[in-house]
Structure 1
């Protein structure tokens, strides 16, 4: 009986230690993603609600940097380089901060996303772009803080911020014309080096037609003044699979030399191992 009671107590203690209370978050997180032209843009943010409170000028003070949401930084990610307020913004992730005012807001992209809220020490050198947005007063209240995309065109959109009875926006431009023209030229000019390389590696890995894989790899290497060592590595494996040990060794030596010049220790080791397996001098 004593052993049974001890076992029950142990199980009960384990259950209590592992049990966790799950309740709704007061400011739930959200991620929205929008393709603008040919560029994917996403925003991850937390969404506080008014709950009867006065927001701008009270809960969120005027003329002070605000995290623009709740909890961790609101993060904006751009798939490609964009333009914001005339500034070039590289593809990547940025913290979105704002400085709400009575008549207008400053909307800021900051290249340090590690803060929890506004940085304790603001670093102006980390500001990659900022715009001033006039306030549009809404004819209704927005209970829960919201971010969305509006005025979409092939070449840009507005990143809109809505809360209480306020709407502000950060217009941005995307490089659709450049991306589209590059895609058209690539397609009309036929497969590129990377396409041939990918096809050749796929055929090698799947044990398909090795003659065709070699032909594609040769096309991938065609015209390169200094053949890419990672491509040469795959060509050496194709030649070895075809039974051309001499060609495989010669190609692996070229790949090894390129990898050593580039300082890529992984490819150096891979080539040395293959050369040893193939009986190279």
Structure 2
């Protein structure tokens, strides 16, 4: 009897791990949050600021000095701590901050707030917040504003490399500046892109040359890159840019020839107004104005 049942028992025991692996995944409902999650993002140059938070509502309650006590660390929202992501290194409130995602906290006061970027981004509320993990603290003065039932964040561009991040709730607003070194960031992007660009593709070399011409920088590199673009392929775009680069270099015969080439290539391919504007510009250039 024992010899008959032993193989059966062994077979059953080896089947157990497989059965456990076939167990279906747990079934769970998605939580219904009374403070809905939100993400606000804004591009600044080729950089981006992103604020992820949850929106609590006033619901007739006293917010400042009540629901949100003065002098205590607040998650700057509801549920998980608010986070701020910077795609590139920036100046936040005038101080250097590396690219990355940070927990954003505040210590509200009746007249002055302390704002905080914490190196630990993923936290539930401020329960595990540790001051020793702060990257940056700075002071901000709240301002009165129109009533907002739900907490809100705005990221408003203030220039080609700067923005204001604003927290607003109930009748208060608190804001701070973020500044990117857009020129340095874009130049690093340009150089990195050209390292990967094939000589047979006219577009990236044209783009780099056009950027330099528009910014009034690196004229020798602009000429080398636009000539590389022209060698790779013909387009009214790269011929127009070549014309402008040669004009800046006071190479007027070359500039006139390139602008005429751009006009010829644009006919039937570009909007009529584009061609007409180039023709008017050519006439002005020929007139020496």
Would you say same fold, with TM above 0.5? yes
Partners in 2 of 1:24 and 1:118 — Cα distance?
A: 21
Q: Is the 8 A contact 1:149 1:160 kept in 2?
A: yes
Cα 1:150–1:18 change in 2 (3 A) is closer
Larger Rg: 2
Find the counterpart in structure 1 of residue 246 from structure 2.
none
Does residue 38 (structure 1) correspond to residue 41 (structure 2)? The answer is no
Q: Partner of 1:67: helix, strand, or coil?
A: coil
Aligned mate of 1:112, from 107, 120, 129:
120
2:79 to 71, 79, 84: 71
* 1:88 equivalenced with 2:93 (yes/no): no
* Partners of 2:123 and 2:129 within 8 A in 1: no
Runs of 4+ in 1 over 6 A off after TM superposition: none
Q: TM-score, normalization: structure 1?
A: 0.57
Hey, what does 2:56 align to over in structure 1?
Answer: 48
* RMSD of Structure 2 on Structure 1 (CA): 2.6
Equivalenced residues, count: 175
Q: Distance in 2 between matches of 1:74 and 1:121?
A: 12
Candidates 105, 109, 122, aligned match of 1:101: 109
The runs of 5 or more residues in structure 2 that have no matched partner are: 1-25, 202-289
Measured after TM superposition, the shift of residue 52 of structure 1 is: 0.6
Match of 1:137 among 140, 144, 150: 144
Superposition pairs of residues 189-200 of structure 1, within 5 angstroms: 191-192=194-195, 194-196=196-198
Q: How far is the alpha carbon of 1:151 from its aligned partner?
A: 4.6
Q: CA deviation at 1:181?
A: 3.3
Label 1:101 to 1:38 Cα distance change in 2 as closer, same or farther (>3 A). Answer: same
Cα distance, 1:133 vs. partner? 1.2
Q: Distance in 1 between matches of 2:93 and 2:136?
A: 7
Paired residue for 1:212?
Answer: none
